[in-house]
Structure 1
Amino acid sequence: MKRLNTEWGELESLVLTDMSDVFISNLTIQRQHFPNDDDQTGAAKALMRLQDTYQLDTNTISTGELPGSSSAASLRSALTVDDCYDLGKVAYLEADYYHTELWMAQALKQLEQEETAGTVDAVTILDYLSYSVYQQGELERALEFTKRLLELDATHQRANGNLKYFEYQLAKQKKVEGREEREEAEWKQSRETRGRPDDYLPERRKYEQLCRGEGIRMTPRRQSRLFCRYHDNDRHPRYVIGPVKQEDEWDRPRIVRYHNIVSDKEMEKVKELAKPRLRRATISNPVTGVLETAHYRISKSAWLGAYEHPVVDQINQRIEDITGLDVTTAEDLQVANYGVGGQYEPHFDFGRKDEPDAFEELGTGNRIATWLLYMSDVQAGGATVFTDVRAAVWPKKGTAVFWYNLYPSGEGDYRTRHAACPVLVGNKWVSNKWIHERGQEFRRRCGLQETD
């Protein structure tokens, strides 16, 4: 991202002075397809998102030695001093001083290991480091970094001013408090202010924990009640002789996985149809109802209708035969691709009571059920997690998971709140089929009690 956005611009300015009009024209045409500043910043944020979710230290990311990656891939994806500095700079501009400190410290470490830097020096890095640790309430460390900076550049105006300010603040602190009280206060402040800043997602830590495969709530006794079986959907004509393999993934809410549900040839055809149409995925604004991009959904998606190719029609028919639900009122097949850092934070598939117009334009009712087909394996990351019940389902190529979003009464099942974890290594392909209420009246009947 950085190479095509920043460094290409430098190359462009070099050749513009001494090249033919044809070359310049071609250069300009190609430039419009390259990443821009927003893309570069987004890539930096994605790396920090992976760092937090999978509890990776900066050195692991910088050397490219990620779980599931080969040694050759690690060498190709190693970060330079300038790359680490740029990551810290992105965090700084977002007032995220926790990540600013981490990445500036990594840049300084690599610089001290005599790694060559292109545009950044130790003085600049130390300037950011001292300010970021000061913002996190660590006066003594801020003073230490400032002194190191002044050893390299005694005339640095801002550092000289900061030196006096930090010394004054420390002296004031010592004067007001006794030594033991001050240490206790600093320790308490350090615990409260250091670390990642809180954000808009209250279940952030639970979500990230599940993505790492931790904190899953399934006792051995409950686990013993989950089974694998051959499923023919009450002796459906297509599956009496060749039933499908069904596995229980979770009990409450019931989530099942179907194995070997599509062939490699079918999946490749779906990808081939979707690739030319892939666009940044959008969400429906709950207030305005307008489709818009969001930082919490990072993927590309495309929609395929049953009429477009026999393979899409066959997959739709297979979903109907296996689930027993009518797919004529379902949405088109959505194909989604998640690259490294791609994710979809916790959300509901169904429209809640505070979103009465969520699917009104479709005229087919709410989303009664979700069918999620995995069309690739993922080397690391990329799980589907259910944050309310602490469940996790891992991608496996050729399998599909299925669950109901609504109770038989039509009320939403809030236990189905789920998320697509960030992809750490690899490339994740999935396709969704959202099945709606209309047409299911005699296929999934209401219960006799309103509370069913």
Structure 2
Amino acid sequence: MANSLLLQAGLLICSICAVRSEVFTALADLEDLLETEALLINTLENYIKAEEEKLGYLKRYAAIYKNQHDKASENVQVYVANPINAYTLVKRLTADWREVENLINSDLSLDCLANITHIKETMKFPTDEDLNGAAVALTRLQDTYRLDTSSLARGELNGVKYSSELSAADCFELGRQSYNNEDYYHTQLWMREADARLKREANETVDRSDILEYLAFSTYKQGNIPLALDLTNKLLEILPSHPRALGNKIYYEDELQKSVNTKKKGDDGGEPEGESKPYVDPYGREFYEQLCRGEISLPVEKASKLKCFYLSRNQPFLKIAPFKVEEAHHRPDIFIFRDVLADSEIATIKRMAQPRFKRATVQNTDTGELEIAQYRISKSAWLKEEEHKHIADVSQRVSDMTGLTMSTAEELQVVNYGIGGHYEPHFDFARRDERNAFKSLGTGNRIATVLFYMSDVEQGGATVFPSIQVSLWPQKGSAAFWYNLHPSGDGDKMTRHAACPVLTGSKWVSNKWIHERGQEFRRPCTLERPSEDLVA
């Protein structure tokens, strides 16, 4: 009976087959983890039930043995003189006892572990890389959106409570992952939070000594030796013989003594000789993150000149159903097309793309080869026009929207972002020094981009252009369009853009990258070159 329950779980698992992948890079894959978890729960519950049945049998045997033994103890001679009693006594200690031994020796955990192994091999199952990726994503969101550590631990995102609270052990693991990445700043934040939560836990989920050890060393790496020494002393109060803590204590005390005896050059408050102030990029990370938070918007004098209009391009069909277009910026011109993707088309695109998802790549500027990068966390797939009418319709619609030919355009790229999914500031076109980019296509540079938004995003996930202070917020069914190249063919430096981290929700987009070849009469080149500061 016990083994049959585990066999049922195994048969259930065999009916599903999937491939292990980097699940943290796409929320679509993370949704599949709930199915994996459901099977694990089913396997665990069947194992518990089987073990309980096994204990039930043993308890029944024990009760029978005790009942007969108590009867025999009342008068041993009379009991064994009865031939039936004599027979059952011998039977209990031979055939029956073998059953007891078989039950005791039966290791149900082996079947359970085999089922779990099968789940891990055939279902989507996270790896240590996924754990690290999820932890890094959380700290990225924490920095980009300036989220308070305690609020995050309470399950709050920008004041909205979405989930249950983190335990001290959850916070400790976040700190440990940051430590493994040599990110000592976030190690300190999450170890402090783990320590604070541990004090409020009735059933402690982590040892305070472990928290103090990580916290002390990360504090030292951040340059605060006195506090590192204080934390180490607190650790030694708990574990006086802790070998690493004893060694670190001596080291920290020596370092403090050296700092007293040695005055470093520049400690008098003056500027150290031979050092110059580092260059600060006015459109660097801080500016990009401010755009992601919605703290910066287009100046009123520029925004007041933007318009909305209907676009028909003198096409009969579009005369009846023109495109609804909003101007998002002038020079470079960025347009938002509203309601250009139907829900049925979005469903088709998602359904076709998800089984093909692979980790999104970027092009190596030296070799032209595609490779994964930590500054782009998402999964993507490519869909051809001939695969489905909806894909062909979308391609034709892009041509209608832009007035450009799709004969040399790339296939439709579909993207789903993962935990804190983002793509840091980048250009869609190949810059002057990137001579190998798109060489294999033979269609020239990417003249324009059409970016379709296939989902609404609750918080975060904006497309931002730092150099021109523009933020585009995802709206399902809309699309953004801009030219990457000046009419001269030079790359437009102002089109550098980024996909902000997704704070809450699932962000689906699709890209149609349009190339130069075939556009000669649709967007004629000019002899006039833009100023050097506008070219990349």
CA distance in 2, matches of 1:352, 1:115: 59
Q: 1:155 aligns with which of 231, 234, 241?
A: 241
CA distance in 2, matches of 1:275, 1:45: 24
SS at match of 1:257: strand
Correspondence for 1:222? 302
* Mapping of residues 170-319 of structure 1, within 5 Å: 170-174=256-260, 203-216=284-297, 218-233=298-313, 235-319=314-398
1:114 to 2:201 alignment: yes
Q: Counterpart of 2:307 in structure 1: which amino acid? A: F
What displacement does 1:25 show?
4.8
Q: Give aligned-pair identity as a percent.
A: 50
Gaps of 5+ in 2: 1-22, 25-32, 49-105, 273-282, 532-536
Correspondence for 1:29? 118
Contact 1:370 1:434 in 2 (8 A): yes
Correspondence for 1:327? 406
Change over 3 Å in CA distance of 1:266–1:115 after alignment to 2: farther
Q: Counterpart of 2:245 in structure 1: which amino acid? A: A
Q: Counterpart of 2:467 in structure 1: which amino acid? A: D
Contact 1:68 1:379 in 2 (8 A): no
Change over 3 Å in CA distance of 1:160–1:418 after alignment to 2: same
After TM superposition, the structure 1 stretch with the greater mean CA deviation from structure 2, 297-306 or 136-145, is 136-145
Contact 1:81 1:116 in 2 (8 A): no
CA distance in 1, matches of 2:170, 2:112: 30
CA distance in 1, matches of 2:375, 2:259: 41
Contact 1:340 1:425 in 2 (8 A): no
Contact 1:64 1:74 in 2 (8 A): yes
What displacement does 1:205 show?
2.1
What displacement does 1:22 show?
7.0
What displacement does 1:24 show?
5.2
What displacement does 1:210 show?
1.5
CA distance in 1, matches of 2:421, 2:343: 23
SS at match of 1:49: helix
SS at match of 2:219: helix
Q: How many residues align?
A: 423
CA distance in 1, matches of 2:370, 2:527: 38
Q: Counterpart of 1:219 in structure 2: which amino acid? A: P
Q: Counterpart of 1:228 in structure 2: which amino acid? A: C
Q: Counterpart of 1:210 in structure 2: which amino acid? A: L
Change over 3 Å in CA distance of 1:363–1:165 after alignment to 2: closer
CA distance in 2, matches of 1:301, 1:448: 38
CA distance in 1, matches of 2:182, 2:393: 51
CA distance in 2, matches of 1:171, 1:450: 63
What displacement does 1:300 show?
0.9
SS at match of 1:397: coil
CA distance in 2, matches of 1:282, 1:255: 25
After TM superposition, the structure 1 stretch with the greater mean CA deviation from structure 2, 146-155 or 409-418, is 146-155
Q: Which has the larger radius of gyration?
A: 2
Correspondence for 1:94? 181
Normalising by structure 1, what TM-score? 0.86
CA distance in 2, matches of 1:173, 1:268: 64
Correspondence for 1:40? 131
Contact 2:443 2:515 in 1 (8 A): yes
Gaps of 5+ in 1: 190-201
CA distance in 2, matches of 1:285, 1:243: 40
Correspondence for 1:143? 229
Contact 1:387 1:418 in 2 (8 A): yes
What displacement does 1:174 show?
4.4
What displacement does 1:264 show?
1.4
Contact 1:68 1:380 in 2 (8 A): no
* Mapping of residues 362-381 of structure 1, within 5 Å: 362-381=441-460
After TM superposition, the structure 1 stretch with the greater mean CA deviation from structure 2, 395-404 or 142-151, is 142-151
SS at match of 1:56: coil
What displacement does 1:175 show?
5.4
Alpha-carbon RMSD across the aligned residues, in angstroms, is: 2.9
What displacement does 1:434 show?
0.2
What displacement does 1:50 show?
0.9
CA distance in 1, matches of 2:163, 2:397: 41
CA distance in 1, matches of 2:348, 2:521: 34
CA distance in 2, matches of 1:330, 1:305: 11
After TM superposition, the structure 1 stretch with the greater mean CA deviation from structure 2, 344-353 or 78-87, is 78-87
Instruction: Map Cα deviations across residues 130-181 of structure 1 (whole Å, 9 max, x no partner).
Output: 111122121222222122222222332333333344344435544556xxx9
1:361 to 2:448 alignment: no
SS at match of 1:134: helix
Contact 1:68 1:425 in 2 (8 A): no
What displacement does 1:26 show?
4.2
Normalising by structure 2, what TM-score? 0.73
User: Which of the pair is proportionally richer in helix?
Assistant: 2
Change over 3 Å in CA distance of 1:56–1:68 after alignment to 2: closer
Change over 3 Å in CA distance of 1:363–1:172 after alignment to 2: closer
Q: Counterpart of 1:207 in structure 2: which amino acid? A: Y
What displacement does 1:21 show?
7.7
Correspondence for 1:193? none
Correspondence for 1:429? 508
SS at match of 2:189: helix
Q: Counterpart of 1:127 in structure 2: which amino acid? A: E
Correspondence for 2:209? 123
Q: Counterpart of 1:102 in structure 2: which amino acid? A: L
